Amino acid sequence: MTPREAALDVLIQIDPSQKVAAMAQLWSMANTHPWKSDELSQRIHSTHADAVCQVPGRPIRPQLVAPGAVPTRSPFTVEGRAALIHAICHIEFNAINLALDAVWRYPNMPESYYTDWLRVAFEESTHFAMLRAHLQQMPHPTGDTWDYGDFTAHDGLWAMCEKTADDITARMALVPRTLEARGLDATPIIQKKLARIDTPDAHSAIAILDVILRDEIGHVAIGNHWYHVLCESAGLDPVAHYQVLVERHDAPQLKPPFNETARKKAGFTEIELNYLMGLPPRG
């Protein structure tokens, strides 16, 4: 089995716990059994035809609704904080699938591309596991246990994954460096809100978000790197082509505030940041 086939096998796992365990095994395998890029065959499309129909594998719950139909809850209530952690948990579960999809869907990329995205998938799986464990330990008004699936969620991340399925450059542009990069902007804002609550579960959540923000900077950096590699190989200007891709795939127009420090660490250039903020080039 090639790494791409193995990634698809994890991607179609339905049970979240099994997906996390399978991802840990795959990452361990990738680190102990190096492969060469000529082993990344395209036969996955014929041998896994039935499995492709099941992409991505996910549980029946949470119920998926339109983004605007997800209720807004105050984090200053126990249920509101649980809903907040659940929302981030859902993002991280989707992020596992997004990274695995980037591995299996696109053939003939350098070996380092597959290693990069397997690393992302593994780290996203650890984020999901941490958040789910935290959710299960949070206070519940009835004494029950919260779990992933208890609240509704939306499918915005995976919808963009499907829109960019046939264009790896668009995938790198619009998933890791657009939608996932919003996490770099949103995380400090969420942490500030949690700091005002001053409860044990809020402090624990802040610490988990510190880990996630650190790792997500690296994940967005990987998306930036491969986007620029692909643009360079095709003779495309990365800033101009980004706008083309945003319009072609109806991606959201990003609005401030932007976490400039985190975005710079993740590889966004000064020109790209100015573009996002609608500013002329500095200097």
pLDDT in tens, 161-203: 999 999 999 999 999 999 999 999 999 999 999 999 989 999 9
Q: What is the pTM of this model?
A: 0.93
Average confidence (pLDDT) over 94-119:
95
Tokens of 138: 């949070």
Q: Domain-by-domain residue ranges, the chain? A: 3-276
Q: Quickly state the pLDDT bin for 46 (edges 50, 70, 90).
A: very low
Q: Quickly state the pLDDT bin for 31 (edges 50, 70, 90).
A: confident
Residues above pLDDT 90, as percent of the chain: 80
- Count CB atoms within 10 A of the CB of residue 244: 13
Q: Quickly state the pLDDT bin for 2 (edges 50, 70, 90).
A: confident
Residues above pLDDT 70, as percent of the chain: 90
Task: Please tell me the predicted confidence (pLDDT) of residue 280.
Answer: 58
Over residues 206-227, the pLDDT tens digits come to 999 999 999 999 999 999 999 9
Q: Quickly state the pLDDT bin for 51 (edges 50, 70, 90).
A: low
